[in-house]
């Protein structure tokens, strides 16, 4: 099982502070069947010299060494979670970005409240530069929670979307969970990842979330697994069939009632 979005590098963002904690997260992930993770520390600032690419690569190599010494049979790849902003296009044009596992896929985080007014153009221009944008946890963006069909516009510009495991598990509240279900039903997400930050509060939930998706739509759970492998191989992702997220179907109501059984 491959996790393409993990805050696992110690002392670089709001993930683990120490190497010991990072190894504990890796051990937890390995016990749950994770074999590969992409380290995706946050990048919020696009001024020149702010990427810290060398630090990301050095910490990734160091963590791989520590994991091997601890007998953990998994591999960590370099990456970054880039905040959506007009300056991202300029940084990408200068090749001052770290893609997922050095593929063409660029992980892009949406602001949690308001989207930049030129968001569609940002994704369009990233595609023109040869990058494949992957939108991290769109279900956590307030504008998409209010109007899920916004995500369809971004996908039509060639972007992909990655759902957080914790969104399906109800870790971010009912509104985010319901938005996640709408996006699932509508075929607007092509990937699922943990977005793990710690061993406890924001832990490794990917295997459990994939199991729940498989109970409802085995084909979609299989697509998520295959697409994660395609990220590492730098191959084109599968896209589920898309329907309008504005349509509220009986299937969605059934999904909501089933997932309600698992709420805390």
pLDDT tens, position by position, 200-236: 888 999 999 999 999 989 999 999 999 999 999 999 9
Neighbours of 229 (CB within 10 A): 13
Q: Higher confidence at residue 256 or residue 113?
A: 113
pLDDT for position 263: 45
What domains lie within the chain, and their CATH numbers?
Answer: 2-260 (3.20.20.140)
Mean pLDDT of 71-92: 96
Name the pLDDT band for 260 (thresholds 50, 70, 90). Answer: low
3-state secondary structure the chain: CEEEEECCCCCCCCCCCCHHHHHHHHHHHHHCCCCEEEECCEECCCCCCCCCHHHHHHHHHHHHHHHHHCCCCCEEECCCEEECCHHHHHHHHCCCCCCHHHCCEEEEECCCCCCCCCHHHHHHHHHHCCCEEEEECHHHCHHHHHCCHHHHHHHHCCCEEEEEHHHHCCCCCHHHHHHHHHHHHHCCCCEEECCECCCCCCCCCHHHHHHHHHHHCHHHHHHHHHHHHHHHHCCCCCCCCCCCCCCCCHHHHHHHHHHHCCCC
Distance of alpha carbon 235 from the chain centroid = 17
| CA angle at 47 for the pair 198 and 125, rounded to the nearest 5° | 90
Query: Per-residue pLDDT tens for 91-122?
Result: 999 999 999 999 999 999 999 999 998 999 99
pLDDT for position 8: 97
Specify the pTM: 0.92
Mean pLDDT of 54-78: 97
pLDDT for position 201: 80
């Amino acid at each position: 099982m491959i996790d393409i979005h993990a805050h696992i590098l110690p002392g670089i963002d709001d993930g683990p502070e120490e190497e010991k904690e990072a190894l504990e997260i890796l051990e937890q992930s390995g016990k749950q069947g994770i074999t590969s993770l992409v380290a995706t520390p946050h990048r919020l600032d696009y001024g020149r010299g702010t990427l810290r690419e060398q630090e990301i690569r050095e910490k990734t190599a160091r963590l791989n060494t520590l994991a091997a010494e601890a007998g953990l049979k998994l591999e960590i790849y370099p990456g970054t979670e880039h905040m959506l902003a007009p300056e991202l296009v300029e940084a990408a044009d200068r090749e001052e970005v770290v893609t997922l596992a050095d593929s063409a896929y660029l992980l892009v985080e949406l602001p949690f409240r308001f989207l930049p007014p030129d968001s569609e153009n940002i994704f369009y221009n990233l595609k023109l530069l040869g990058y494949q944008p992957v939108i991290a946890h769109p279900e956590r963006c307030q504008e998409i929670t209010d109007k899920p069909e916004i995500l369809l516009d971004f996908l039509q510009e060639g972007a992909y979307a990655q759902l957080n495991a914790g969104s399906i598990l109800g870790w971010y509240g009912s509104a985010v969970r319901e938005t996640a279900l709408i996006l699932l039903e509508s075929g607007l997400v092509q990937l699922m990842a943990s977005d793990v930050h710690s061993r406890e509060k924001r832990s490794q939930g990917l295997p459990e979330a994939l199991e729940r998706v498989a109970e409802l739509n085995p084909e979609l759970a299989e697509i998520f697994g295959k697409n994660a492998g395609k990220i590492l191989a730098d191959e084109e992702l599968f896209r589920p069939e898309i329907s309008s997220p504005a349509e509220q179907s009986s299937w969605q109501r059934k999904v909501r009632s089933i997932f309600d059984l698992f709420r805390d």
